[in-house]
A and B are shown apart, each in its own frame.
Chain A
């Protein structure tokens, strides 16, 4: 930890700001803008880990868009379950894109930071549970559809991560809304873990490789975790980090080893 996030980053490091679960609506307009306005001094990019709106309406997405418009750093987002609540996710994506936000669902985006290629692979992901304590695709069609949705979410993340590998990114970040690991859920009731994330996301991250995995969704969880393959995981749900965003400095040392 350094007490001076505003200091210039050392050569060979990338500074990532991230927050999820901001749940904005028209009564919150301008709430995060003063903190976001400081981003050019302390970060190279901002990640938004889903649940950006309260009910998933376009009116709420416009509030989010205004909060991050023309910040001076690239903004990359995935949507969360709240952003799907009113079946307006396509319009929400357009409203955010119109403000310059890269909204990812199975895609990737790359940036050049101080001569280094930094890539973000994004997908909302889904629930389903963690290894040994997860739902199976068996029985009623509703159960099969639920599990299939979790698989599709993980496949989309995998596709996006593979794009970053093909682009030979020096720093690779996996961005989801749902959690890939149970570590960052500590504090949530154990009984609801299957609704908070899926090990399939971690399996995709470990199979392809990443330097950092960032997610939201678990408001009562904790910030720090790791995948079984050793990739660092950070839960940046705003109630967890209790700030407008969290800041991480990642070293640049060639292609992500996944360790």
Chain B
């Protein structure tokens, strides 16, 4: 597959961001950025299932591009420490 034109990639990233922020997904905390010729997805989402859903959409929207996945799910553990404010 030939390399997509740079401006086309930029608009495809914008479309993915729009789709993630849209009605059905409602995930505004995901960062979508170019890293060389690949696309990096990063940020923290509530559950592993949401992460899988975002990656599935990204692979559809960004078909033909390499997607690097750096999405994490937030810890749901109680904290080990308390901040003492003076």
Q: Are the C-beta atoms of B80 and A35 separated by less than 8 Å? A: no
Contact between A5 and B81, CB atoms less than 8 A apart = yes
Query: In the complex, what residues of A have CB within 8 A of residue B29's CB?
Result: 21, 219-220, 239
| Cβ–Cβ contact B78 & A248, under 8 A | no
Q: Which of A1-37 contact B (CB under 8 A)?
A: 1-3, 5, 15, 21-24, 27-28, 31-32, 34-35
Does B46 contact A238, Cβ atoms closer than 8 Å?
A: yes
The smallest beta-carbon distance between B27 and chain A, in angstroms, is 8
Interface: A54 (CB within 8 A): yes
A129 CA / B82 CA spacing, docked (Å): 31
* B47:A249 contact, CB within 8 angstroms: no
Q: Smallest distance from the beta carbon of B34 to chain A beta carbons, Å?
A: 14
A32-B76, A55-B26, A242-B75 known; A3 vs B81 contact (CB < 8 Å): yes
A185 and B3 CA atoms in complex are apart in Å by 35
CB distance from A104 to the nearest CB of B (A): 22
Tell whether A248 pairs with B79 under 8 Å between CB atoms, given A31-B46, A55-B26, A242-B74.
no
Q: Which A203-259 residues sit within 8 Å CB-CB of chain B?
A: 211-212, 219-220, 232, 238-239, 241-251
| Chain B residues at the A interface, C-beta cutoff of 8 Å | 23, 26, 28-29, 31, 43-47, 49, 74-86
- Chain B residue numbers with a CB within 8 Å of A156 are none
A interface residues with partner B (beta carbon < 8 Å): 1-3, 5, 15, 21-24, 27-28, 31-32, 34-35, 38, 42, 54-55, 82, 85, 211-212, 219-220, 232, 238-239, 241-251
Q: Which residues of B contact A3 (CB under 8 A)?
A: 80-81
Given the known inter-chain contacts A28-B47, A55-B26, please indicate yes or no for A220 contacting B82, CB distance below 8 A.
no
Complex contact B26–A219 (CB within 8 A):
no
Given A238-B44, A241-B79, A244-B78, 13 other A-B contacts at CB below 8 A? A5-B82, A32-B76, A35-B76, A35-B77, A42-B78, A55-B23, A238-B74, A239-B43, A243-B79, A246-B79, A247-B81, A248-B82, A249-B84
Can you show 15 pairs from A to B with CB atoms below 8 A apart? A1-B84, A5-B80, A15-B82, A27-B49, A32-B76, A35-B77, A38-B78, A85-B26, A239-B43, A239-B44, A242-B74, A244-B75, A248-B84, A248-B85, A251-B85
**Min CB–CB distance B76 → chain A (angstroms):** 5
Candidate in B31, B77, B79, B82 with the most chain A CB atoms within 10 angstroms: B82
Are B75 and A212 interface neighbours, CB within 8 A? no
Name which residue of chain B comes closest to A239, CB basis: B44
* Contact, CB under 8 Å: A2 / B82: yes
The answer to whether A244 touches B26 (Cβ under 8 A) is: no
A239 to B80, CA, bound (A): 16
Contact yes or no, A82 B26, CB < 8 A: yes
Given A27-B49, A219-B44, A243-B77, does the pair A249, B83 have CB atoms closer than 8 Å? yes
Contact residues in A for B23 (Cβ distance below 8 Å): 55
A243 CA / B83 CA spacing, docked (Å): 14
> In the complex the two chains form, what is the Cα distance from A75 to B74 in whole Å?
21
